[in-house]
């Protein structure tokens, strides 16, 4: 970890990077899973395209609004604690979407998912900054951000077959 501004190079940092990468994969699977079920949801609840647009964008409103507060939380609390709380709460909000019975509930749960996922990238940056020296940070960030594309690439074929 960081010791007076100097990053100690250990093999643990690659384990940390792997965990951040996996978190990003899960993060993107959670935030985009609704797209796979959209046509079934629209039919089941008789939602219009405008209502579906509201459901899809509800995540983005709160994700945007809570990015900066998420960054502030990272300065105050341990990334381990924030990751744990964030991952559990956004996962619960995602699971609960499957039990939603109307537009307001589904929008509210999408907004909750956005709130709880918002600190994830500030946390990712904090973890990488803590474990990687300046000259390796860009590569570490490139590795973990590639998780978003793996999450999307993995999600669509797997969920579409269900």
Q: What percent of the chain has pLDDT over 70?
A: 91
pLDDT reported for residue 162: 61
Sign of torsion over alpha carbons 89, 66, 117, 34: positive
Residue 2: inside a domain: no
Q: Is the pLDDT of residue 4 over 60?
A: no
For 55-80, what is each residue's pLDDT tens digit? Answer: 999 999 999 999 999 999 999 999 99
Q: Both tokens of residue 40?
A: 């079934």
> Cβ(75)–Cβ(130) under 8 Å?
no
Residue 5: inside a domain: no
Q: Is the pLDDT of residue 34 over 50?
A: yes
> In the structure, what pLDDT confidence band is assigned to residue 36 with cuts at 50, 70 and 90?
confident
Residue 4: inside a domain: no
Residue 99: inside a domain: yes
- CATH code of 63's domain: 1.20.1250.20
Alpha carbon distance 104, 69 (integer Å): 25
Residue 70: inside a domain: yes
* Domain residue limits at 130: 11-160
User: Between 88 and 29, whose confidence is greater?
Assistant: 88
Residue 129: inside a domain: yes
At a CB cut-off of 8 Å and minimum separation 6, what does 117 contact?
Answer: 27, 30, 31, 59, 63, 86, 90
pLDDT reported for residue 136: 93
pLDDT reported for residue 2: 46
Structural domains counted in the chain: 1
Residue 1: inside a domain: no
């Amino acid at each position: 970890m960081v010791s007076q501004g100097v990053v100690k190079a250990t093999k643990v940092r690659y384990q940390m990077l792997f965990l951040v990468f996996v978190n990003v994969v899960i993060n993107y699977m959670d935030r985009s899973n609704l797209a796979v079920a959209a046509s079934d949801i629209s039919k089941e609840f008789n939602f219009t395209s405008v209502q579906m647009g509201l459901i899809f964008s509800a995540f983005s409103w709160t994700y945007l609004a809570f990015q900066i507060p998420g960054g502030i939380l990272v300065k105050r609390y341990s990334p381990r604690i924030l990751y744990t709380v964030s991952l559990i709460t956004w996962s619960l909000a995602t699971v609960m979407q499957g039990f939603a019975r109307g537009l307001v509930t589904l929008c509210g749960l999408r907004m909750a998912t956005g709130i709880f996922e918002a600190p994830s990238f500030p946390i990712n940056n904090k973890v990488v900054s803590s474990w990687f020296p300046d000259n390796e940070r860009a590569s570490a960030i490139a590795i973990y951000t590639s998780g978003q594309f793996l999450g999307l690439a993995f999600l669509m074929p797997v969920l579409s077959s269900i």
